Amino acid sequence: MVCVIIVLYNGLYRQWIDQCFSSLRKSKEPLSVIAIDNGSSDGSIAFVREKYPEVQLFVSSKNLGFGGANNWGMSEALAQSADFVFLLNQDAWINEDTISLMLAYAKTNPQFGVLSPIQLNGIGTALDYNFSNYINPECCNGFYSDAVLGKVEDKVYPVDFVCAAAWLISKSCLKLVGGFSPTFFHYGEDDNYCQRVLYKGLKVGIVPKAYIYHDREDRGAFDRKNIDVNWGYNRLKIRASDPSRDEFKAIYNENRKGVLRAFLTGQFEEAKRYTSYLKLLSEDRQKIIENRSDSISGRPYLFLTYDI
């Protein structure tokens, strides 16, 4: 059984959740659908209950973050004996054959713990821009050349990382790797998950015959209002959390040197940025170290409990 997990947060914007859930109804592969609402205030809950009564809807009284909400959904899916979970963003939708194609590749390639379809933009006229960066020759050997030359092979293409807008995850992967780390509230959790999948000896891959549509272009004020991410620090935190490399001390010292270098060259805004990174690293140090250790030892984040 494949169980689709969708995290909702004010998803009526641009009719996202209607497109998302309606596409799932058309899937050739029978699906069970679980939605976790992260504190929507736009009527998403009532909309799903009325228009999509087949969806198992769980409502949190607060925003658990992308990782936390997905962990809740995946726990429910495993409790219902799901063999695979398919994480799908509320701003994404599938073709009729997307999941059936991915499932066929997953069953014949069990070494891949996480599979992604090709992620297109919202109108299907081009690759999702961020997705196109993940499949460059350095990160996804051979795919660009094969695509340009029209000789894409009938196989899964290994990749270092791909955005979790549409992930098929096997039950065996969840049992080995766990769920998303609570170190990351929103953004970075999928980077860290791929790090842990690779560390545990499994692979992450792209299924070139399957497609989804990810509508994240031209969001304007919506994103700026609702997403406040310190991207520079987030990248440092992802690097420091990688179980395959013990780099916290090196990262901390790099930023100390950055403060000094910026002051000596009169780049005071740069010095302020490095100082803020040092402060955040100090505050998060214990959590990062503990969660990295948990990743190595195999603590199942998926089964952490949440105050909902």
Architecture of domain 2-226: Alpha-Beta Complex (3.90)
Which runs of consecutive H residues, i.e. helices, occur in the chain?
16-25, 44-51, 65-79, 98-108, 129-134, 143-148, 171-177, 189-199, 221-226, 231-241, 248-264, 268-297
pLDDT attached to residue 140: 85
Q: What is the pTM of this model?
A: 0.91
Number of Cβ within a 10 Å radius of residue 114: 25
Non-local CB neighbours of 3 within 8 Å, separated by 6+ positions: 31, 32, 33, 34, 76, 77, 80, 82, 84, 85, 86
| Gyration radius (Cα) of the chain, Å | 20
CB 295 within 8 A of CB 197: no
- Burial (CB count within 10 angstroms: exposed 0-12, middle 13-18, buried 19+), residue 14: middle
Strands 84-88 and 166-170: antiparallel
pLDDT string in tens for the chain (308-residue length): 999 999 999 988 878 999 999 999 999 999 999 999 999 999 999 999 999 999 999 999 889 999 999 999 999 999 999 999 999 999 999 999 999 999 999 999 999 999 999 999 999 999 999 999 998 888 888 888 888 888 888 899 999 999 999 999 999 999 999 999 888 888 899 999 999 999 999 999 999 999 999 998 665 444 433 444 478 898 999 999 999 999 999 999 999 999 999 999 999 999 999 999 999 999 999 989 888 888 888 766 665 544 43
pLDDT attached to residue 290: 87
Task: Give whole-number Cα distances, 10 to 53, 66, 89, 224, 277, in Å.
Answer: 18, 13, 12, 14, 31
pLDDT attached to residue 276: 93
Rounded CA gap, 25 and 57, in Å?
16
The residue type at 89 = N
pLDDT attached to residue 231: 80
pLDDT attached to residue 306: 43
Enumerate the β-bridge partners of residue 170: 84
Nearest to 56 by CA among 75, 43, 84: 75
Rounded CA gap, 159 and 152, in Å?
15
